[in-house]
A = this chain, B = another copy of it.
Amino acid sequence: MSNPIRIGMIGLGTVGSGVAKLLKANAQQYALRTGTTLELVGVLVRDTEKAMMTGLVDQAILTNDPDAFFAQEMDVVLEVAGGVEVAGNFVRRAIEKKCHVVTANKALLAAQGPELYTLAKQNQVSIAFEASCGGGIPIITALSFGLMSNRIDALYGILNGTCNYILTEMVQKGKTYADALAEAKELGYAEADETLDVSGADAAQKLVVLSSLAFDVKVTEDQIALKGIDTLDLSDVNFGSEMGYEIKLLAMAQQTDAGLSLRTMPCFINKETQLAQVDSSFNALSVYGSATGHTFYYGRGAGELPTASAVVSDLLNIVSGWYPKAFEQMNIWPVTHPDVQLADPAELIGRFYLRVDVQDVPGVMAKLTSALGNAGISINAVMQHETEDEQTAPVVILTHEAKQGDVQTALAEIAALPDTVGTPVILPVVDFPAG
């Protein structure tokens, strides 16, 4: 690479602004650590007027013209714009110009990772993506290098700060989902269109990246069983809490005898566990390695400087020369990787939380419990509270370990009972390995 290193950046939103700030504030430190100087030579944005208002970059290097941006000489391109199709085209153009790429874009990697990785290798450049998962937590570095000697048995992540903020507000302050969401938007934690976050899609995309790295397999987003937090009822949060559980949106990958289980959904976890204590917009990941046992990583999962920290660390690691070398052999999405062997969700064994709203009539509890009994499911706890509404009452059931398929069978039978009102709720209760 040339000296100084010429950096192009696509996007000057939250993360891009953070990157510009770090490059300015720490120029001297970065020069000492890399032995070279870093120069931001171009910034591609949609709206140059708006970008000028940030006061973070000189007008001379700002452009809204992709052709002008890609016409200049660059060594590294930072893609911090987001989106899939347009961002993907930009990344391909950068790679074909023999630029190394740093991206924070989990949606792009989940959709086009294997293709982009192959293209980068063909062009002898690297793609670095620490910022795509877990914001400022160096979890990609840990999985790629620090834990390299392990087979990973399981990983459990809180990977979406918006969801975790909303859930924390519901649990700790008794807010409804709608109220907590409105507040998250007000505080800037949630986007105007919150769908990608609250549907669990964002966390699932991160799980694609992490599980591809951890398990040496090709994973696609549609292979992840997905349930968002947008249908959560505050009553379930409260019932769980009474029984000693906290509700979290977990991205989970578990090696089982039946194959790899991949899920992103709201789960009940024991209040005493480390993941249960990850509050507000923080992220965390529990990794169970064959040699390390349990390791746990925690930090800010989003925000201007934490995510920029990951982008700029990637940049420095590229400039230092070692990351491109590491990328050549990195175990993510190589063509040689086998497709993932997915576990049949019906075969998944675990405990479950069930809530069934029933007509408050004699004999209804017997019908519920016998439906479960018929499917071979034994019950750990049952809870029925008085309700203001005298017509229906929620019955909450905690199962012992059971096959998910059997629980679904029983639940279908329960849903069809004449005394059942609405659709029964099922949520997994996740017990972590001993580690």
Contact = CB atoms under 8 A, between A and B. Distances in A.
A296 B292 CA distance: 17
Interface string A151-177: 100000000000000000000000000
A312 B295 contact: no
Q: Which size bracket describes the interface of A in this complex?
A: 35 or more
A266 interface: no
A323 B323 CA distance: 9
Interface stretch (A114-122, A134-142, A237-245, A418-426): A134-142
A432 interface: no
Interface string A203-230: 0000000000000100000000000000
Contacts of A315: 149
Nearest to A33: B331
A405 to B, nearest CB: 31
A329 B321 contact: yes
A182 interface: no
Nearest to A323: B322
A35 to B, nearest CB: 6
B306 A293 contact: yes
A339 B295 CA distance: 34
Interface string A303-324: 0011011111101110011110
A262 to B, nearest CB: 20
Interface string A1-43: 0000000000000000010001000100110111100000000
A298 B274 CA distance: 10
A298 B146 CA distance: 13
Given A291-B18, A291-B308, A322-B322, A33 B148 contact: yes
Contacts of A326: 317, 320, 322, 326
A322 B389 CA distance: 65
Contacts of A124: none
Contact of A320 (B308, B317, B329): B329
A149 B309 contact: yes
A15 to B, nearest CB: 12
A218 to B, nearest CB: 14
A325 B324 CA distance: 10
B296 A299 contact: yes
Nearest to A142: B138
A92 interface: no
Interface in A82-141: 130, 135-138, 140-141
Contacts of A277: 274, 277
A300 interface: yes
Interface of A: 18, 22, 26, 29-30, 32-35, 130, 135-138, 140-142, 145-151, 216, 274, 277, 289-300, 305-306, 308-313, 315-317, 320-323, 325-326, 328-329, 331
